[in-house]
Amino acid sequence: MKAQPRLFGADHSVYVRIARLCLIEKGIEHQLVPLDIFADGGPPADYLAKHPFGRIPAFEHEEFSLYETSAITRYIDEAFDGPQLQPVDPVRRARCNQLISIADNYAYPNLVWGVYVERISKPSRGVPTDEDKFFAALPKARNCLAAMSQLMRDAPWFVGEQLTLADLYAAPMFDYFLMTSERAELIRHHANLQEWWARMASRPSMAATKLS
Ligand SMILES: N[C@@H](CCC(=O)N[C@@H](CS)C(=O)NCC(=O)O)C(=O)O
């Protein structure tokens, strides 16, 4: 029997969740190997051999090791059977890649770090909100949601009729940002994003990866 793919990381991590969503949507049995990236003294030395930048997730499939979520998810999509998570058509594939890049570069720093971490995560740990950081992130978060909404138009998923990696990237970021009290004000002009979230949040892969 072939070894199951292994994903190293923590279940609270946005990027680990993206990779897990991808594995689950493809129907791939796998192992999540727990890794505390914020442990005192930093990540274990043997983990740095898997990921020299000390981030999560890292991934192993038989003899093949990989890090960076964009490479991991595209590999999973291309190397395994199951529903295709990247469009074949070049225009749609480009749109999917564009939305992934927007998620990496604008949604993650602003929706997750600028809004969720400042408003929910830090206060829950007794750390005060950095108001400058929070107020600087708000217009960027607004701009990011407007751009994503405009690119999705009236499709059910970010890139048309099929669920793609673009949806799996955005979902864990939205899940965190939508816990904040700013969510209503930020998302109220974007009915398509609200409808998308209802669709996305009800998928079994989201329930299976939700923090308890
Ligand atoms: N470019 C990386 C980003 C991964 C990443 O930032 N992961 C976060 C957790 S969601 C992390 O490892 N943070 C630890 C740190 O910043 O030291 C990828 O796409 O995999």
Q: How far apart (Å, rounded) are the C-alpha atoms in residues 62 and 58? A: 13
The CA-atom distances, in angstroms, between 176 and each of 5, 14, 51 are 27, 9, 25
CA angle 150, 154, 155 (to 5 degrees): 105
What is the CATH number that goes with domain 90-206? 1.20.1050.10
Closest by Cα among 69, 79, 81, 93 to 21: 69
pLDDT average, residue stretch 179-185: 93
% of the chain residues with pLDDT over 90: 92
- Contact yes or no for 38/27 (Cβ under 8 A): no
pLDDT digits (tens, 9 = 90+) for 88-97: 999 999 999 9
Q: Which CATH class is domain 6-79?
A: alpha beta
CA of 99 to the centre of ligand 1 (A): 18
Atom of ligand 1 nearest to the CA of 16: 10
The domain spans of the chain are 6-79, 90-206
Q: What is the mean pLDDT of residues 142-169?
A: 98
Please tell me the predicted confidence (pLDDT) of residue 1.
56
Q: Is 121 in the pocket of ligand 1 (CB under 6 A)?
A: no
Q: Return d(Cα 32, Cα 25) in angstroms, integer.
A: 15
| pLDDT value at residue 39 | 84
**Residue 43 pLDDT more than 90?**
no
pLDDT tops 80 at residue 212: no
Write down the mean pLDDT value for the chain.
Answer: 96
